[in-house]
Structures are given as C-alpha cells and as structure tokens.
C-alpha cells in the first residue's frame, strides 16, 4: 500500500447549523494526481481549508503529510503549495515582489524554477498587481506554487482564469511535479483536465462522499454508450435480442441508443453487426457521464 499524503476519515465541518462537510473520506497516495470533484457548494473548498489548517474540523480524523493540520498547521503548510480559486493579492506590489514575499516567508525558494515558470506562463512580473487580470493573478500564485520546493500541491480550481494555451502549460507543470515525486490534489470543474491528469478521483456532493477510486476502475464500472440505426423490417426482432441483463435500451424512430456494461459491449456489437445495422458508434464511459449522473441525482 502506498503512503498516504492526505488521509481524511469521517470529516465533519459545521458552521453553526449548516453542515458543509458531512462524514467525508479522502485519501491521496504519494505521487498521485487526485481529482476532487463536485458541484458548486459541495464542500470542496471547505475541505481544502481544513487540510490547510485554516478551518478546524468539527469531528473526524485529518492527517496531511503525517500531521494533524489543526494542531501543526505551520509544519504542514511549510510543505504545501496552495492555489486558491479566488486570488486576491496586494494591489500595490509587483508580481515579482509577491513571489519574493511568498518565497521569503517560506524561507526556501528555487529562483531558477521561478524564472522558468514565469516565462512558461508568459507572466510579466514587473507589473503592479492592480494591473493584472484574474488570469494573471492566478499565474503569479501558480508560479509561486510550482516553484516552491514542496511535497504536496493543493490546487482549488486553479485554471478558471487561464486561456487554453496556459491550460496546456499548467497540465505540463502538473506532470513535471508528479515526475519530481510531488503529490497533487486538484479540485476542478474542467472535466477534460481531470480526465487527462488524474489517476484517482473523489466525487462529493452536499458535503458527502459520492464516489472515490481509480479513474480506470470507475470507467470499468460505468456503461459505454452504443448507438446504431436498425433496418426497419427487423427492428423488433433485433431489439428483442438486445434486451440482455444490464443493458438499457432506448429505442427511437429508426435509431437505438444503448447503455451497455463494459463486459457486454462485445456481445451487443456482434448482434448489431449480424443484423446489418448502420452508423454504429461506441463511446466508452467518460468522467462526464459519471459526473453528470451524480449531478442529476443532486437535481432530483
């Protein structure tokens, strides 16, 4: 079993009568990129603030890098890089001065990495923060986070203000960080980003755990989508054959849409091919499907 960098069990966080996080488990192993997903207001940022020791847990066990952040916040955060979703910086300092301040407070810095990352993100650090757009403010904090010699990166919707080009740079930075042995906890709404980067994900809703595990395993459990156009005269007979255990059938006027468990995809496709069906498509389950399924549950 890999060493757990983040180990949260039965975390509860209440603000007065409002329960923001309700019995959450979150485990992130060393060297992983762990996606942290959930609809707005699901409790992601609250959980992250508990991990950083900014909020104290109401109950539950929280260990980050082997310490309880409620007791030893400074020891924990000294080894963490944090990027918040909403970045506010001191408006009358320049980007460079902000980088100086964070590195100075941390007491350890990699100036070469900082320069390299500022170049990669196309950040002009001589400008005053008040002239930066949201994306540029985010870049300052991203540069500081990736350049700092830390073990764990906690990124709370870090790319919401970045353009697609910078999104590429960001993904490369995450891969480099993992290659250097660091661990990443990535909260994000950009599912393509999570799908590209993450090995494992945790999905939460209303402060509760919905699903957690390796992305590959979750895909395996989820259904693939198969669509096809059926010859009209044989349609009824073919549909009869398609109604197998686990397969859900949604027959339209001349097309059929099927949700098929992974292990039955071959059988279903064989039926369709034998019946001379046209326009056959087969799409493996993506995070989008997994995620939307849970969103819909939330909507009910």
Phi, psi of 210 (to 5 degrees): -105, -45
Distance CA 107, CA 40 (A): 35
143, 101 Cβ separation under 8 angstroms:
no
The span of 28-36, 51-59, 267-275, 280-288 binding other proteins (CB under 8 A) equals 51-59
User: How far apart are CB 62 and other proteins at their closest, in Å?
Assistant: 14
Which of 43, 47, 82, 123 touches other proteins by CB under 8 A?
82
Q: Is 77 in the site for other proteins (CB under 8 A)?
A: yes
Q: Is 101 in the site for other proteins (CB under 8 A)?
A: yes
Distances, alpha carbon 41 to alpha carbons 46, 71, 134, 155, 185, in Å? 9, 26, 21, 17, 18
Q: Is 128 in the site for other proteins (CB under 8 A)?
A: yes
Q: Is 131 in the site for other proteins (CB under 8 A)?
A: yes
DSSP label at residue 160: T
Start-to-end Cα distance in the chain:
38
Q: Is 126 in the site for other proteins (CB under 8 A)?
A: yes
Distance CA 123, CA 262 (A): 45
Query: Who's near 223: CB < 8 A, 6+ residues apart?
Result: 246, 248, 259, 260, 261, 262, 285, 289
Could you say which residues in the range 20-49 bind other proteins, by CB under 8 A?
49
Q: Is 68 in the site for other proteins (CB under 8 A)?
A: no
Q: Is 133 in the site for other proteins (CB under 8 A)?
A: no
Q: How many CB atoms lie within 10 A of CB 7?
A: 17
Q: Is 110 in the site for other proteins (CB under 8 A)?
A: no
For tokens 């991203």, name the residue: 142
Q: Is 89 in the site for other proteins (CB under 8 A)?
A: yes
Nearest to 42 by CA among 212, 189, 208, 206: 206
Which of 7, 68, 100, 211 touches other proteins by CB under 8 A?
100
Q: Is 211 in the site for other proteins (CB under 8 A)?
A: no
Phi, psi of 289 (to 5 degrees): -65, -45
Judged by beta carbon, residue 134 or residue 243, the one nearer other proteins is: 134
Site string (148-187) toward other proteins, x via CB under 8 A: x---------------------------------------
Whether the CA torsion 119, 122, 128, 132 is positive or negative: it is: negative
Judged by beta carbon, residue 101 or residue 249, the one nearer other proteins is: 101
| Site size with other proteins, rule: CB under 8 A | 42
Q: Which residues bind other proteins (CB under 8 A)?
A: 49, 52-56, 73-75, 77-82, 84, 86-90, 92-94, 96-98, 100-102, 104-107, 124, 126-128, 130-131, 141, 148
């Amino acid at each position: 079993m890999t060493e757990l960098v983040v180990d949260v069990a039965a975390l509860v966080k209440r603000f007065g009568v409002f329960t923001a996080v309700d019995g959450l488990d979150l485990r992130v192993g060393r060297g992983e990129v762990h996606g942290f997903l959930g609809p707005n207001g699901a409790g992601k940022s609250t959980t992250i603030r508990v991990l950083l020791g900014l909020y104290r847990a109401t109950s539950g066990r929280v260990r980050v890098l082997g310490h309880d952040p409620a007791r030893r916040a400074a020891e924990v955060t000294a080894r963490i890089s944090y990027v918040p979703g909403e970045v506010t910086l001191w408006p009358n300092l320049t980007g460079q001065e902000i980088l100086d301040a964070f590195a100075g407070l941390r007491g350890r810095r990699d100036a070469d990495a900082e320069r390299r990352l500022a170049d990669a993100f196309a950040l002009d650090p001589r400008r005053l923060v008040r002239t930066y757009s949201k994306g540029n403010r985010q870049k300052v904090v991203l540069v500081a986070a990736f350049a700092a010699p830390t073990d764990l990166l906690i990124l709370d919707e870090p790319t919401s203000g970045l353009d697609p080009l910078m999104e590429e740079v960001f993904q490369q930075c995450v891969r480099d960080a993992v290659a250097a042995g660091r661990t990443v906890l990535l909260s994000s709404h950009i599912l393509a980003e999570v799908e590209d980067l993450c090995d494992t994900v945790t999905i939460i809703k209303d402060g509760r755990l919905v699903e957690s595990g390796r992305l590959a395993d979750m895909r395996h459990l989820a259904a693939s989508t198969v669509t096809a156009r059926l010859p009209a005269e044989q349609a009824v007979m073919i549909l009869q054959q398609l109604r197998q255990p686990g397969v859900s059938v949604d027959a339209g006027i001349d097309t059929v849409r099927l949700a098929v468990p992974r292990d039955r995809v071959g059988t279903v496709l064989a039926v369709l091919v034998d019946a001379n069906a046209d326009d056959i498509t087969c799409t493996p389950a993506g995070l989008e499907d997994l995620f939307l399924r849970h969103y819909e549950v939330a909507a009910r």
